[in-house]
Homo-oligomer: A and B are copies of this chain.
């Protein structure tokens, strides 16, 4: 079989550190990879003023997948790298499924007291291409007492239905077969109505799946008090952003949370990245946990049809985590990467 053509965007801050470990594991698991690095991020922006030139975007389109570390740096105005690099890729490549498992690995300490490991095992299907992330809105009379700033949430039948269908398929494939819509239908009545009607309509084709609804405020509470309520969660872009960080927290921390920005039809490459950000405060110190990136690599392998390799990486991570219990948890980024690499190679 031909090599996997992979575009690698380490990005900013700890992004470069964790991606290096992800690639190490990827090589060790025995996949044939042609990896090309792209120096997109804060440094290039400062050097050239470029975030993601259209020519580079078109080049990225030719790869089988993209592995991304993290983007964002305090030296760049908020939103510039996020919007013109990260979100630009998600939107251009129609990553309408942002897949984020929230699963407690045995051996990981959850901050929730008395929560059995099996109670935290869900998958959040976050919409990735519309809602408030559309970026529309504007400002008038900026800097005056009469300033008004707006943001728009754009939701389409097309955009909502395809992600809802994906979520129903996911729910069907899992033992509990339960799908919870998370929204705020009692306040965001126009968008909420579209989401709720879509779920209700598609549900008719999935009589084996139980559906449920939770307002985003109540869901945030339930993530902490009753995480076992959730199996598959489907939600919009912003609610999904919030609830998956919360999910990472209850599942043992942002150092373990993986994600995939998926284009299910394969009309463009999917992109895999840890849920965490560039963490400039700890960058360059070897303190970042590369596990989230390594688990994102496993998601990527699975997406590319290499399920045996994906399982091997996941198992190596699970074993590594159990080892942490025995004490040596103060490893550097590279040491954790080395330990997991050793497990997948053996």
Contact = CB atoms under 8 A, between A and B. Distances in A.
Interface of A: 72, 78-79, 82-83, 87, 109-114, 132-133, 135, 137-139, 141, 143-158, 161, 184-194, 196-197, 216-218, 220-225, 238, 241-246, 248-250, 253-254, 277
A222 B246 CA distance: 8
A146 B137 contact: no
A191 B253 contact: no
B148 A157 contact: yes
B113 A137 contact: no
A151 B217 contact: no
A221 B243 CA distance: 9
Given A189-B79, A192-B78, A147 B157 contact: yes
Given A111-B224, A147-B156, A153-B153, 4 more contacts: A138-B190, A139-B190, A145-B161, A217-B241
Contact of A186 (B72, B197, B254): B72
Contacts of A87: 187
A224 B238 contact: no
A152 B154 contact: no
B238 A139 contact: no
A139 to B, nearest CB: 5
Contacts of A139: 190, 193-194
Contacts of A277: 218
A5 B63 CA distance: 70
Contact of A112 (B113, B186, B218): B113
A114 to B, nearest CB: 8
B154 A153 contact: no
B149 A79 contact: no
B190 A150 contact: yes
Given A83-B187, A194-B147, A245-B220, A152 B152 contact: yes
B150 A153 contact: yes
A154 B145 contact: no
Contacts of A196: 78
A137 B190 contact: yes
A184 B133 CA distance: 11
B188 A132 contact: yes
A187 B112 contact: no
A157 to B, nearest CB: 4
B157 A144 contact: yes
Contacts of A216: 241-242
